[in-house]
Amino acid sequence: METPRQKCSGVFMDGKFYVIGGKDKDHNILTSGEVYDPASKTWKTIPNMYVPPETAPSFEPSPPLVAVANNELYAIESSSNLLKGYVKSSNSWKVLGPVPVRTDVCNGWGLAFKALGDELFVIGSYETPSYRTPSSGVAVFSWKPRLDAIAPEWQLGAPPPEWKMVNFLLLKDKMGIISLIQSQHCNSCSVLY
């Protein structure tokens, strides 16, 4: 990489590996991204690819919450609970709408945000919107994203009884590929079999 960084996030998109955000050796927030092209074996810096949270957090924010679905990059801004889509042609972010779980409580820690196939998944703290029987816990939501969507249409997943509550999320796709998502600072998240 051209810039040493820590607490960053990485994704595969367009057949290349992207590293986004993070901090430099002096703990300054990096707004750049970098892309590695395996064909040419080179790194290229993408200035201003990452927009840090808008408010100053009370404690260390999580690394950027990013995921790629259908070869498009999405991010959750932990300070505002907003989902954004990356517009490649203009190196900018489009606000798509709110996520249904709390991301602002622990500055993004304790939240799982991943893509599997053409769907995005968010797993985190959730309170039912019922006034008669309110309840809270960990919930799983999914959405098949589109950058041209007016607002995300999240679907609440009903976890099967065989799911076990542990400190990480295990996703298995149709081809049997396993994704393990560890959730920092989280007392309970889900395992999907």
Render pLDDT for 132-186 as a digit per residue (tens, 0 to 9). 544 566 778 899 998 888 889 998 875 544 444 444 444 444 444 444 444 443 4
Q: Which range, of 86-90, 105-109, 156-160, 162-166, averages the lowest pLDDT?
A: 162-166
Render pLDDT for 6-20 as a digit per residue (tens, 0 to 9). 999 999 999 999 999
From CA 85, how far away is CA 192, in angstroms rounded? Answer: 26
From CA 189, how far away is CA 171, in angstroms rounded? Answer: 12
From CA 175, how far away is CA 168, in angstroms rounded? Answer: 21
Residue 109 has pLDDT above 80, yes or no: no
Residue 69 has pLDDT above 50, yes or no: yes
* Non-local CB neighbours of 48 within 8 Å, separated by 6+ positions: 31, 32, 91
At residue 55 the predicted structure's pLDDT band, cuts being 50, 70 and 90, is low
Convert the chain into a string of H (helix), E (strand) and C (coil).
Answer: CCCCCECCEEEEECCEEEEECCECCCCCECCCEEEEECCCCEEEEECCCCCCCCCCCCCCCCCCEEEEECCEEEEEECCCCEEEEEEHHHCEEEEEEECCCCCCCCCCCCCEEEEECCEEEEEEEEECCCCCCCCEEEEEEEECCCCCCCCCCCEEECCCCCCEEECEEEEECCCCCEEEEECCCCCCEEECC
If one compares 162 and 62, the residue with the highest pLDDT of the two is 62
From CA 172, how far away is CA 192, in angstroms rounded? Answer: 7
Beta bridge partners of 112: 123
How confident is the prediction for the chain on average, in pLDDT? 77
Render pLDDT for 19-54 as a digit per residue (tens, 0 to 9). 999 999 998 889 999 999 999 999 999 999 988 776
Predicted structure pTM score: 0.77
Instruction: Give the count of beta carbons closer than 10 Å to the beta carbon of residue 21.
Output: 23
Q: Which of 140, 142, 139, 77 is nearest to 108 (CA)?
A: 77
